[in-house]
Amino acid sequence: MHNIQERILALSQEKNLGQLSLREIADLIGEPSRSPQKIKHHLNQLEKMGLIRVDKVKGIIEKTQPSWAKGLLRNRSKLLTIPILGSANCGPAELLAESNIAGYLRVSSTLIGQRNNHKLFALKASGPSMDQAVINGKTIEDGDYLLIDSEEKKPLDGDTVLSIIDGMANIKKYHFDKDNNQIVLISESTQDFPPIHIHPDDDYQINGKVVQVIKKPKL
């Protein structure tokens, strides 16, 4: 930003520029009073950038919030704290589901939409068997964090769910096989993983649905 524009913005915080002549503005910011056209040019540039508001009818020239700040205020996004409850295997159900909090994720509220963040928790994906699954445009890779909505315990066909099988955490695609009255948990992977077939009498429960993937950084 030009230094004249910076000085005009600073002055706009103290005075209504609409009540000053171009020569007066120039004088107040330390510019030669014989250069009013230069001041007019920079006022026009500031208006185009959305940094000042010009109301010629009411004679008002004032500083505004920059456009990026307006977006933040409008969205009212904030950082949320999501507990991490351990890891979930994306292959065979080999890892025990941990009930103890292992840490916390700090994520923007824009990532969860209208969901109740108090019903969310995170698990770290372990294994490759869901690396072709896509949640909100993001694949699930080993080391990614998965946000689980614990209220979503009645999944639809095709949902990616957190299952607890014999006390072990597992992430898979949910399918109900009506013909055989059984749940089938399906891998979506570049590798060949057999499905897991769940009988109604098995020690099995659904602890939530995967609603977001927080990608691990690519270092």
pLDDT of 29-41, one tens digit each?
888 766 778 888 8
**For 81-85, 155-159, 185-189, which range has the lowest pLDDT when averaged over its residues?**
81-85
126-135 average pLDDT score: 89
Q: What pLDDT is attached to residue 98?
A: 54
pLDDT score at 158: 94
168 vs 208, residue with greater confidence? 208
Q: What is the average per-residue pLDDT within 192-214?
A: 89
Give the span between the Cα atoms of 171 and 89, in whole angstroms.
6
Confidence of residue 210 (pLDDT cuts 50, 70, 90): very high
pLDDT band at 188 (very low <50, low <70, confident <90, very high): very high
pLDDT at 68: 40
CA dihedral in degrees (29, 34, 37, 43; nearest 10)?
Answer: 10
Which pLDDT value is given to residue 99? 54
Residue 69 is classified by DSSP as H
Both structure tokens of 19: 């009540």
In this structure, are residues 122 and 214 in contact, taking their beta carbons and an 8 Å threshold? yes
pTM exceeds 0.75 for this model = no
Fold match flag (3-72 vs 77-214): no
Instruction: Give the three-class secondary structure for 104.
Output: strand
The answer to whether residues 126 and 90 touch, using CB atoms and an 8 Å cutoff, is yes
At residue 177, the pLDDT reads: 92
- With H, G, I as helix, E, B as strand and everything else as coil, classify residue 39: helix
Query: Phi first, then psi: what are they for 192, rounded to 5°?
Result: -95, 100
Angle between helix 3-12 and 36-48 (nearest 10): 80
Q: Where are the domains of the chain?
A: 3-72, 77-214
CA 189/CA 141 separation, integer angstroms: 10
- Section 34-62 average pLDDT: 77
Q: What is the DSSP letter of 177?
A: E
> What fold does the segment set 3-72 form as a domain?
Arc Repressor Mutant, subunit A (1.10.10)
Question: Helical H runs in 32-185?
Answer: 36-48, 67-75
Judge contact between 17 and 61, C-beta under 8 A.
Answer: yes
| Residue position matching structure tokens 């294994």 | 127
Distances from the Cα of 78 to the Cαs of 111, 132, 152, 210, 213, in angstroms?
A: 10, 30, 24, 21, 18
CA dist., res. 147 & res. 80, Å (int): 12
CATH 2.10.109.10 fits 77-214, yes or no: yes
